[in-house]
Amino acid sequence: METRAFEIVDKDGAVQMQGALADGKLEGLLQIRQDGAPQAAMRFAGGVQQGECIILHAPHRPSARMFFVDGQLDGPAEFYSLQGVMTRKTHYRRGLVHGLQQDFYADGMLFEEAFYVRGLPEGPWRRLHPGGGLAERRSYRAGVMTAAPERFDERGQPLKG
Protein backbone atom coordinates (compact mmCIF):
# COMPACT_ATOMS: atom_id res chain seq x y z
CA MET A 1 0.00 0.00 0.00
CA GLU A 2 1.58 3.25 -1.16
CA THR A 3 0.91 6.31 1.02
CA ARG A 4 1.35 9.80 -0.42
CA ALA A 5 1.12 13.04 1.53
CA PHE A 6 -0.79 15.89 -0.09
CA GLU A 7 -1.48 19.57 0.46
CA ILE A 8 -4.04 21.88 -1.03
CA VAL A 9 -2.99 25.52 -1.00
CA ASP A 10 -4.84 28.76 -1.70
CA LYS A 11 -3.79 31.37 -4.30
CA ASP A 12 -1.40 32.91 -1.75
CA GLY A 13 0.31 29.59 -1.08
CA ALA A 14 -1.19 29.03 2.38
CA VAL A 15 -1.98 25.39 3.15
CA GLN A 16 -5.76 24.87 3.37
CA MET A 17 -5.82 21.06 3.62
CA GLN A 18 -3.15 18.55 4.50
CA GLY A 19 -3.37 14.78 4.66
CA ALA A 20 -2.36 11.53 3.06
CA LEU A 21 -3.75 9.12 0.49
CA ALA A 22 -3.17 5.38 0.48
CA ASP A 23 -4.22 3.68 -2.74
CA GLY A 24 -6.23 6.81 -3.56
CA LYS A 25 -8.15 6.87 -0.27
CA LEU A 26 -7.75 9.19 2.72
CA GLU A 27 -5.50 7.67 5.36
CA GLY A 28 -4.48 9.01 8.75
CA LEU A 29 -4.84 12.59 9.93
CA LEU A 30 -6.60 15.14 7.71
CA GLN A 31 -6.19 18.77 8.74
CA ILE A 32 -8.22 21.66 7.35
CA ARG A 33 -7.16 25.30 7.73
CA GLN A 34 -8.59 28.67 6.79
CA ASP A 35 -6.26 31.64 6.44
CA GLY A 36 -3.57 29.53 8.12
CA ALA A 37 -5.69 28.84 11.21
CA PRO A 38 -6.76 25.28 12.10
CA GLN A 39 -10.45 24.59 11.36
CA ALA A 40 -10.75 20.80 11.65
CA ALA A 41 -8.78 17.66 12.34
CA MET A 42 -10.08 14.17 11.64
CA ARG A 43 -8.75 10.69 11.02
CA PHE A 44 -9.39 8.22 8.22
CA ALA A 45 -8.60 4.56 7.58
CA GLY A 46 -9.08 3.23 4.08
CA GLY A 47 -11.05 6.33 3.11
CA VAL A 48 -13.52 5.94 5.99
CA GLN A 49 -13.66 8.39 8.88
CA GLN A 50 -12.48 6.81 12.15
CA GLY A 51 -11.79 8.14 15.62
CA GLU A 52 -11.90 11.65 16.97
CA CYS A 53 -12.99 14.62 14.87
CA ILE A 54 -12.47 18.16 16.13
CA ILE A 55 -13.97 21.20 14.42
CA LEU A 56 -12.93 24.68 15.52
CA HIS A 57 -14.59 28.11 15.38
CA ALA A 58 -11.18 29.73 15.60
CA PRO A 59 -7.75 28.53 16.67
CA HIS A 60 -8.10 26.64 19.94
CA ARG A 61 -11.87 27.38 20.24
CA PRO A 62 -13.85 24.18 19.70
CA SER A 63 -17.08 24.07 17.72
CA ALA A 64 -17.58 20.31 17.90
CA ARG A 65 -15.83 17.20 19.16
CA MET A 66 -17.13 13.86 17.90
CA PHE A 67 -16.03 10.27 17.40
CA PHE A 68 -16.51 8.06 14.36
CA VAL A 69 -16.46 4.30 13.87
CA ASP A 70 -16.62 2.99 10.31
CA GLY A 71 -17.74 6.41 9.02
CA GLN A 72 -20.63 6.82 11.47
CA LEU A 73 -20.89 8.95 14.58
CA ASP A 74 -20.31 6.62 17.51
CA GLY A 75 -19.53 7.77 21.03
CA PRO A 76 -19.70 11.07 22.88
CA ALA A 77 -20.24 14.33 20.99
CA GLU A 78 -20.01 17.89 22.25
CA PHE A 79 -20.95 21.13 20.49
CA TYR A 80 -19.91 24.67 21.48
CA SER A 81 -20.96 28.26 20.78
CA LEU A 82 -18.60 30.89 19.37
CA GLN A 83 -18.10 32.03 22.97
CA GLY A 84 -16.85 28.56 23.96
CA VAL A 85 -19.94 27.54 25.94
CA MET A 86 -21.15 23.97 25.46
CA THR A 87 -24.52 24.06 23.67
CA ARG A 88 -25.12 20.30 23.34
CA LYS A 89 -23.72 17.14 24.88
CA THR A 90 -24.92 13.87 23.44
CA HIS A 91 -23.93 10.32 22.55
CA TYR A 92 -24.18 8.40 19.29
CA ARG A 93 -24.28 4.72 18.46
CA ARG A 94 -23.92 3.63 14.83
CA GLY A 95 -24.87 7.08 13.55
CA LEU A 96 -27.96 7.59 15.74
CA VAL A 97 -28.41 9.54 18.97
CA HIS A 98 -28.36 6.94 21.73
CA GLY A 99 -28.33 7.82 25.43
CA LEU A 100 -28.61 11.11 27.27
CA GLN A 101 -28.75 14.29 25.20
CA GLN A 102 -28.51 17.67 26.90
CA ASP A 103 -28.88 21.15 25.42
CA PHE A 104 -27.69 24.28 27.20
CA TYR A 105 -28.54 27.97 27.31
CA ALA A 106 -25.89 30.50 26.23
CA ASP A 107 -24.83 30.88 29.89
CA GLY A 108 -24.18 27.12 30.18
CA MET A 109 -27.27 26.33 32.26
CA LEU A 110 -29.25 23.23 31.29
CA PHE A 111 -32.09 23.98 28.85
CA GLU A 112 -33.37 20.54 27.83
CA GLU A 113 -32.54 16.88 28.35
CA ALA A 114 -33.87 13.62 27.00
CA PHE A 115 -32.89 10.00 26.58
CA TYR A 116 -32.71 8.40 23.14
CA VAL A 117 -32.64 4.80 21.99
CA ARG A 118 -31.51 4.24 18.40
CA GLY A 119 -32.41 7.82 17.44
CA LEU A 120 -35.85 7.95 19.08
CA PRO A 121 -36.77 9.70 22.35
CA GLU A 122 -37.39 7.19 25.14
CA GLY A 123 -38.57 7.89 28.67
CA PRO A 124 -38.49 11.26 30.41
CA TRP A 125 -37.90 14.50 28.51
CA ARG A 126 -37.71 17.86 30.20
CA ARG A 127 -37.16 21.51 29.37
CA LEU A 128 -36.10 24.05 31.98
CA HIS A 129 -36.65 27.77 32.43
CA PRO A 130 -33.50 29.95 32.38
CA GLY A 131 -33.58 30.01 36.18
CA GLY A 132 -33.47 26.19 36.36
CA GLY A 133 -37.12 25.47 37.18
CA LEU A 134 -39.07 22.87 35.22
CA ALA A 135 -40.82 24.44 32.18
CA GLU A 136 -42.12 21.32 30.43
CA ARG A 137 -42.18 17.58 30.98
CA ARG A 138 -42.96 14.81 28.50
CA SER A 139 -42.64 11.06 28.34
CA TYR A 140 -41.83 8.97 25.27
CA ARG A 141 -41.91 5.32 24.34
CA ALA A 142 -40.18 4.30 21.09
CA GLY A 143 -40.33 7.91 19.86
CA VAL A 144 -44.04 8.39 20.55
CA MET A 145 -45.24 10.78 23.26
CA THR A 146 -47.21 8.72 25.79
CA ALA A 147 -49.26 11.57 27.31
CA ALA A 148 -49.92 15.25 26.84
CA PRO A 149 -46.97 17.45 27.80
CA GLU A 150 -47.09 19.15 31.19
CA ARG A 151 -46.06 22.82 31.23
CA PHE A 152 -45.09 24.97 34.21
CA ASP A 153 -44.53 28.66 34.85
CA GLU A 154 -41.27 29.93 36.35
CA ARG A 155 -42.68 29.46 39.87
CA GLY A 156 -43.36 25.77 39.16
CA GLN A 157 -47.14 26.18 38.87
CA PRO A 158 -48.88 24.08 36.16
CA LEU A 159 -50.04 25.98 33.10
CA LYS A 160 -53.44 25.17 31.63
CA GLY A 161 -54.03 24.49 27.94
pLDDT at 1 exceeding the cut of 80: no
- Spell out the long-range contacts of 117-120 with Cβ–Cβ below 8 A and sequence spacing 24 or more: 117/142, 118/93, 119/143
pLDDT at 15 exceeding the cut of 80: yes
Question: Comparing C-alpha atoms, which of 92, 90, 89 is closest to residue 71?
Answer: 92
- Spell out the long-range contacts of 23-32 with Cβ–Cβ below 8 A and sequence spacing 24 or more: 27/3, 28/3
Three-point CA angle 87, 65, 61, nearest 5°: 70
pLDDT in tens, 127-137: 999 999 999 99
Question: Comparing C-alpha atoms, which of 86, 115, 120 is closest to residue 100?
Answer: 115
pLDDT in tens, 77-128: 999 999 999 999 999 999 999 999 999 999 999 999 999 999 999 999 999 9
